[in-house]
Structure 1
Amino acid sequence: MYTPKLRVAICGGGIGGLCLAVPLSKQAHLQVDVYEAAGRFTEIGAGLMIWSRTWRIFELLGLAADFAKVADSEPNPDVGIGFNYRRSDRPQGFHWNFVSMPYGCIRFHRAHFLDVFVEHLPPGVAHFGKRLVSYERRAGGEIGLTFADGTHAECDVLVGCDGIKSVVRAELLRSKAAEDARPELLKLIEPKWTGTIAYRGLVPSTEIPSRNGAKHDTLATPMMYCGQNKHIVAYSIAQGHIVNWVAFASEPEKDDTDYGAEWVKPCSKEEVLQTFSGWESEAVELLERVDNPTKWVIHHLHPLPFYVADRVVLLGDAAHGMTPHLGAGAGQAIEDAFILAKVLEAAAPGEYRSSLKSEKNGLHYVTSTLDAALAAYEQTRLPVANHVLTSADESGKMYEFNSPFAEKYETLGPAIKGQWSFLTASTPEGEVDKAMGIFQGIIQAI
């Protein structure tokens, strides 16, 4: 007997969406479609970092060899430096902390990173120029999609991978606020400005001068130049040929406010240098070598109470858009995708279009393996990702001496290291086991 495939629509062809599409496209019982608003797959920004936990996911997905080819250097399981910290908001800076861990900080150019996923995506899965404007639930559980170009599509599961300004998240929260009489959910739709501006630039490594006969620190190890209300992150990418720097300037009193519509724009080198006037030369000479930096307004989400409702799923920045201060945004999206792919692979064919819930003794029960799979994804990923979202915000305050630790280096240093404890709190394999245990528990309770 013919069993219709489960139709999974992935809205957004960034890192999270493609990381989900690649393993799902290998499953015979799934039809996967990626709807990307742009005319091609592309990533904004230049540098990207991951940690050992994400590298392990690539090994489990069979992608590690290809990612190794585009990493800044060959990933090595030995203990390496994650970041080296200097106090730099003065003419004479000094080292005061470093964080080390297995593999250290694994660095990539974003475009090269995304290309690995693209190369593993089968033909016919991607659809470009498809900006989602709305979706609707239909009788029988089908979800109808409407795109800005006037076209339409249908699916059984909609996965919102459409970033921090997610249309899927907005629709989902508005729907649940109305259905459940929870107007407080409406306050979670829009990202909030953190009070931080980030200036970004790329410098060819050949243009960075040596210091006292040795190469610049940032060519040897990822650097964190710290100061009051400001910090600069700098590290090499593209096999050491380019240094990516991001210079953050914060106004703490403006945290959790609305900024406006334009989040990214060009700015002058003079603006950046004025912002970091008085800083040590090791940091400033990186900023001096970029004539056309860009200015980014750093936003994040407040933690959401759910990622799944009525077979609509949030993933990556759409679910937990976070500040970049732990270098964890890409890794969390990849872990979302890894877990969601595993539970969808386990959902049995033939039950997809059954009713979402049944009522027994006044209680609601999941009636299909699909709904059990989505519940298992949410229960596994939501607490972890929301924790990392909060920790990333806290970490940015630590680097700028605005946390309760202030400038007490002897306690601040260990506290910063502790912010990465989520990397070793479990393993990707353990999280899969957890999700599958939840999945089986729900099925057995039906």
Structure 2
Amino acid sequence: MPGPKFRVAICGGGIGGLCLAVALSKHSDIQVDLYEAAARFKEIGAGVMIWSRTWEILTLLGLDGKFAEIAHAPPDGSDGVGFDYRKSDQPEEGHRFYFFERPYGCIRFHRAQFLDVFVDALPEGVDHFGKRLISYSQTSSDTPVELHFSDNTSAVCDVLIGCDGIKSTIRKQMLEEKARMGQKELLRNINPIWTGTTVYRGLIPVDRLKALDGKEHRTIETPMMYCGKHKHVVSYSISKRSIVNVVACTSRPDLEGSTYRDGEPWVVDCTQEELLDCYNGWEPEVVEMLKCIEKPTRWGIHHLRPLPMYVSNKVALLGDAVGLLSIMYRALSNATVQAHAMSPHQGAGAGHAIEDAFILAHLLGHHSITLARLPQALLAYEHVRLPLANHVLRGSYESGKMYEFDGPQGDSLQGLGPALEKQWDWLDQTTPTGEADRAVERLEDMVQNE
């Protein structure tokens, strides 16, 4: 048997890293090694949602059947609810001001179960645990990349993909090297910044949200977006509608960019009293739902400034490591997130990490790619993914402000609904397969101009 064309090292075993490893493993002539700092693959947090464009990728990977088994309901392509937007920051009953529908609706999962589908699809021998990357070195474009781990071991690869999150070691080294070459402005992109938003999270068994008369809380069936000034609450069912995931956000726009709570850890336990005090005076169905969260956790939402590049020679970033303003819920202590660390206000973080992985695997597996052409494949990936990721990063952040009546429309609900509808345009402006084809076209242009 001939050896592999080249070796791909993936650092970070979250959703993006695992998806990339699974997609690349379908190419028998590529050696894939996935390095994870922890002792096993794991996710903390609760819910994850994706949209139809991500479901298309999971189908192409042959994983749709497994994901359908763990979704809130088996996706069938029919129109479903994205979110039901409701004004709720008053003690009397609130009211709907915008209703977002689309094919498949938002497809919801328990985050740990979602990760496990990728884990189960990973070929034997690809994963390596207890491997926290501390640095990498590449002496020239013609030599392998050497990886240095905290356990004093090392490894080599031909291309390194950083899926190591919002606190990415690979991103930090890449930008520091660029800064030493004269691009000093990139130093401001290294460290994540607090968005000024704090969220309270909790899971509620569905049985606790059923009244004595058997009437169900509306969020069991419908993903809800309860909106109010400087605050909003997202809730939706997961795990075949057996659990409701709740994310309650509260923002201080004036504190964006400041140190989070005097250096407090990003994720801590808190009291139910603190949560209820935060939403005192909101409509009854919100308050009653929050009363069902006995042990909430408090999260500081951080994001990255949009990056001007994802690639340096044979090293590339993927997922929250590039700055898509979403908190991957692995941000405890030294755990990690990925290339476009984006705020979670459009449920886009996991989907975009999967889309990154799909397009990058499509390029690396292309018949024209040789060891010498790896940098061109990475540049084609960057060309396609960077603009869309930065667009969604900004849109997600803007949407969060709009949910809390801090956007240009304020609390003018008549104008806010149509404005929110436009925020979702990115879902249909392109398709993952179309973007993959566009990346290949870019690659072929570079190959022809060699």
After superposition, the CA RMSD in angstroms is 1.4
Q: 2:308 aligns with which of 305, 308, 314?
A: 305
Deviation at 1:212, TM superposition (A): 7.8
Equivalent residue of 2:299, what SS?
Answer: strand
Counterpart of 1:27 in structure 2 is 27
Counterpart of 1:224 in structure 2 is 225
Distance in 2 (CA, whole Å) between partners of 1:149 and 1:176 is: 27
Distance in 1 (CA, whole Å) between partners of 2:171 and 2:70 is: 33
Distance in 1 (CA, whole Å) between partners of 2:41 and 2:302 is: 23
Q: Which amino acid aligns with 2:155?
A: A
Counterpart of 1:73 in structure 2 is 73
Deviation at 1:261, TM superposition (A): 5.6
Q: Does 2:313 correspond to 1:293?
A: no
Bigger CA drift: 380-389 or 92-101? 92-101
Bigger CA drift: 2-11 or 112-121? 2-11
Contact 1:16 1:337 in 2 (8 A): yes
1:5-20 to 2 correspondence within 5 Å? 5-20=5-20
Equivalent residue of 2:429, what SS?
Answer: coil
Task: Give the 3 Å change call, closer, same or farther, for CA 212–403 of structure 1 in structure 2.
Answer: farther
Q: TM-score, normalising length from structure 1? A: 0.94
Q: TM-score, normalising length from structure 2? A: 0.93
Distance in 1 (CA, whole Å) between partners of 2:299 and 2:314 is: 34
Counterpart of 1:186 in structure 2 is 187
Equivalent residue of 2:151, what SS?
Answer: coil
* Paired residues, number: 429
Deviation at 1:4, TM superposition (A): 5.0
Distance in 2 (CA, whole Å) between partners of 1:347 and 1:375 is: 17
Distance in 1 (CA, whole Å) between partners of 2:22 and 2:280 is: 46
Q: Which amino acid aligns with 1:148?
A: S
Query: Structure 2 unaligned runs (5+)?
Result: 323-339
Percent of paired sites with the same residue = 55
Distance in 2 (CA, whole Å) between partners of 1:317 and 1:65 is: 26
Distance in 2 (CA, whole Å) between partners of 1:300 and 1:23 is: 27
Distance in 2 (CA, whole Å) between partners of 1:156 and 1:213 is: 60
Distance in 1 (CA, whole Å) between partners of 2:52 and 2:183 is: 39
Deviation at 1:28, TM superposition (A): 2.0
Counterpart of 1:284 in structure 2 is 287
Q: Does 2:175 correspond to 1:166?
A: no
Deviation at 1:316, TM superposition (A): 0.2
Q: Does 2:121 correspond to 1:101?
A: no
Contact 1:134 1:168 in 2 (8 A): yes
Contact 1:138 1:144 in 2 (8 A): no
Distance in 1 (CA, whole Å) between partners of 2:194 and 2:77 is: 37
Distance in 2 (CA, whole Å) between partners of 1:440 and 1:310 is: 18
Counterpart of 1:407 in structure 2 is 411
Counterpart of 1:200 in structure 2 is 201
Equivalent residue of 2:198, what SS?
Answer: strand
Q: Which amino acid aligns with 2:433?
A: E
Counterpart of 2:362 in structure 1 is 342
Q: Deviations over 1:130-169 (max 9, x none)?
A: 1111111135321111111111111111100011111110
Distance in 2 (CA, whole Å) between partners of 1:444 and 1:211 is: 70
Q: 1:384 aligns with which of 381, 385, 388?
A: 388
Q: 1:263 aligns with which of 246, 263, 266?
A: 266
Counterpart of 2:248 in structure 1 is 247
Q: Which amino acid aligns with 2:277?
A: Q
Counterpart of 2:351 in structure 1 is 331
Equivalent residue of 1:321, what SS?
Answer: strand
Deviation at 1:276, TM superposition (A): 0.6
Contact 2:4 2:28 in 1 (8 A): no
Contact 1:398 1:412 in 2 (8 A): yes
Equivalent residue of 2:430, what SS?
Answer: coil
Task: Give the 3 Å change call, closer, same or farther, for CA 252–199 of structure 1 in structure 2.
Answer: same
Distance in 2 (CA, whole Å) between partners of 1:111 and 1:233 is: 19
Query: Structure 1 unaligned runs (5+)?
Result: 353-367
* Runs of 4 or more above 4 Å deviation: 1-4
Contact 1:347 1:369 in 2 (8 A): no
Deviation at 1:415, TM superposition (A): 1.1
Q: Which amino acid aligns with 1:322?
A: M
Counterpart of 1:321 in structure 2 is 341
Q: Which amino acid aligns with 1:91?
A: P
Counterpart of 2:144 in structure 1 is 142
